[in-house]
Amino acid sequence: MKLKVLFASLLMAMPIVGFAQEEKSADVYKNEGNAAYREKKFDVALASYEKAIELWGEELDAATVYNAAMCAEKVKDLDKAKTLYEKSISLDYKADISTYKVTSILGKQKKVEEQRAALEAAVTKYTEGKAAAFIKKDLTKSYRDEAFAAYNAGAKKLAECQSAKPEDYAAIKAEAKKIFSEGTPWIEKALTVSPGDEQCTKIKQSIDEMIAECNK
């Protein structure tokens, strides 16, 4: 009996040794993220990529950062996607595409002026490749939209003549001309970026015709 009690006491005094689960490496998380991405499980992939990025610290794998950005965009976490694309740019990994993605996200967030400024900076930096073409196209559209808005506003103002007294025509035309003229620099910028663009050419022609009409 004494031996049993002694043995039990020794067991209680011995430290309990657990078997700790081995911590996954950053590369393991990256590979898990890649597997989830291939299966289009973008939320799962993003979580794995973020864990890998956290473990890497300063020694980042640029491709993983870019992949994480794409996943964040897929799950519509636009702020996170923008931050990750900007990190990709700083790592000089697919910088042109990442820059375009940032401008696209700004557009989705309705940050019109910020998007335009980013596009203006990008169009001079990237002049070749698919991303450069998209940047050029979006900047042209940004300018064209402003010009078209001025055209529509001017046309609406000029239409007031239909129900106005003849003595008010001159004032209405003068105001309409001013509004139409606000569209001119925008459409000229658009044509500078994309010379010969058919839509821009038509809008410029329409604005010029309406200004001429207001001068009558």
Q: How does DSSP assign 178-193, residue by residue?
A: HHHHHHHHHHHHHHHH
| 74 pLDDT more than 60 | yes
Q: What is the largest CA-CA distance in the chain?
A: 122
For 146-188, the pLDDT digits (tens) are: 999 999 999 999 999 999 999 999 999 999 999 999 999 999 9
Q: 39-48, pLDDT tens digit by residue?
A: 999 999 999 9
Residue 189 has pLDDT above 70, yes or no: yes
CA angle 107, 186, 192 (to 5 degrees): 95
Q: How confident is the model at residue 151, as a pLDDT?
A: 97
Going by pLDDT thresholds of 50, 70 and 90, the confidence category of residue 21 is low
**Residue 177 amino acid letter:** K
CB atoms within 10 A of CB 139: 22
Query: What per-residue confidence (pLDDT) applies to 177?
Result: 97
What pTM did the predictor assign? Answer: 0.84
